Structure 1
């Protein structure tokens, strides 16, 4: 597991029960950027939480949940809220991205984490699959949600990955952008259906791919269809810049 900073007891409130299951933290010792979505290109710190409630065949972070291939004891560790806040506060970088896996699985412990991060002057972005509604305590100034509903083409059953009430809650929050991974024009058409039904806006489309070559091909395939709908288009900067290296 890639991690940064010491593991310490306690939490932002002094309660040792506030621990999170973390896959990796990065961006302090070796700087990096947010690679996707509305903040693409912004310097960022990443707290990647372990565990997910979906099992997408094309997931690129299976080490957070696929225990048929990975050992959870090697791929995750418990870290305290206080430790994570101190780690982030050690860097001048303003943006902290909390991702996964699916971070909102650990939502009760995220409330003190977010409060601690905001108190140090950070702003927070959650990367979430859009199947778990955020607690009201997380829908606050300084927090944004990059909601990425997974399409059937991503290797998942949409009856599990598209949760109507949750998408409606995110759309109503005023703090969400909706970022879809797409590889075909059929995917773009499906995104349009979901955006219309659930009034999702703003919509960002990101080409699927874990190599620069694949991203370039898919970008050129999708660009006209995305532009025609006046949506936003995002690359995967971390793949282009760092060849999809873990911890970048």
Structure 2
């Protein structure tokens, strides 16, 4: 931690909270604390955290604040959960501060997962720090407001695969979208794929899981969920 006390690096933070569980991906159900960073480089209309980036609807001067890396590190290490999830927004926009935060967390023995949309390649220093990357490329329907070249960056997807520490997580609303996932899997050698239904209502999530279970299983993917939505609906900070 002493090496962080002189960096002067800050991160723009939307919110942070503990006393919960990881709701998505391979660590679903694991006790976790969360640091949600502000700002995103994509404009997904179904986004469930638009307050982290959408200046047309939210005032980021009120929704986000700056914190020194060492302050965030101290907060995270004061939480009882071993797993620290850094999410967004898009965390890799703030690469320098993110890297120092992860270095401090890993040096203290914490497990770190970074949630990313997979369009910004992680630096060598960030990969070396040892986090897991939960990569969530945006499919054509979810990212309909953007050209494909913005939501899918081939060299970046390959870079994440090369780390050996990336898991791929897709949000879908219907089984037909699994063909799009399969094409990405083949093109970029994606591994550890989970598929979860879109939604911020428990009944919508359950209905989506029932619809997807068979097709997802047949593809050999993991059926994912949004456990935090099942437990607490669309409540922030959970």
Secondary structure, aligned partner of 1:48: strand
Counterpart of 2:49 (choices 42, 53, 61) is: 61
- Structure 2 CA distance for partners of 1:141 and 1:51, relative to 1, 3 Å: closer
Q: Does residue 237 of structure 1 match 2:207?
A: no
Length, aligned pairs only: 236
In the other structure, the counterpart of 1:35 is 23
Task: Kindly indicate whether the alpha-carbon contact (under 8 Å) linking 1:48 and 1:98 is maintained by their aligned counterparts in 2.
Answer: yes
Is there any run of 5+ residues in structure 1 with no aligned partner, and where?
1-9
Q: Does residue 18 of structure 1 match 2:6?
A: no
* Structure 1 residue 91, shift from structure 2 partner: 1.7
* Structure 1 residue 141, shift from structure 2 partner: 6.2
Q: Does residue 159 of structure 1 match 2:149?
A: yes
User: What is the 5 A alignment of 1:88-127?
Assistant: 88-127=76-115
Counterpart of 2:185 (choices 192, 195, 216) is: 195
Is there any run of 5+ residues in structure 2 with no aligned partner, and where?
none
- Give distance in 2, aligned partners of 1:110 and 1:130: 15
State TM-score, norm by structure 1.
0.92
Task: Kindly indicate whether the alpha-carbon contact (under 8 Å) linking 1:12 and 1:81 is maintained by their aligned counterparts in 2.
Answer: no
In the other structure, the counterpart of 2:61 is 73
Cα-Cα RMSD: 1.4
Task: Kindly indicate whether the alpha-carbon contact (under 8 Å) linking 2:93 and 2:120 is maintained by their aligned counterparts in 1.
Answer: yes
Task: Kindly indicate whether the alpha-carbon contact (under 8 Å) linking 1:11 and 1:83 is maintained by their aligned counterparts in 2.
Answer: no
Secondary structure, aligned partner of 2:185: helix
* Structure 1 residue 134, shift from structure 2 partner: 0.5
Q: Does residue 204 of structure 1 match 2:204?
A: no
- Give distance in 2, aligned partners of 1:12 and 1:123: 20
- Give distance in 2, aligned partners of 1:186 and 1:140: 37
Secondary structure, aligned partner of 1:152: coil
State TM-score, norm by structure 2.
0.96
Q: Deviations over 1:186-237 (max 9, x none)?
A: 2111111111111100111011111111111111111111100111111100
Q: Does residue 143 of structure 1 match 2:134?
A: no
- Give distance in 2, aligned partners of 1:219 and 1:91: 32
Secondary structure, aligned partner of 1:187: helix
Counterpart of 1:186 (choices 176, 187, 191) is: 176
- Give distance in 2, aligned partners of 1:245 and 1:20: 24
- Give distance in 2, aligned partners of 1:210 and 1:243: 6
- Give distance in 2, aligned partners of 1:236 and 1:202: 17
In the other structure, the counterpart of 2:72 is 84
- Give distance in 1, aligned partners of 2:235 and 2:128: 32
Task: Kindly indicate whether the alpha-carbon contact (under 8 Å) linking 1:11 and 1:19 is maintained by their aligned counterparts in 2.
Answer: no
Which segments of structure 1 move beyond 6 Å, counting only runs of 4 or more? none
In the other structure, the counterpart of 1:50 is 38
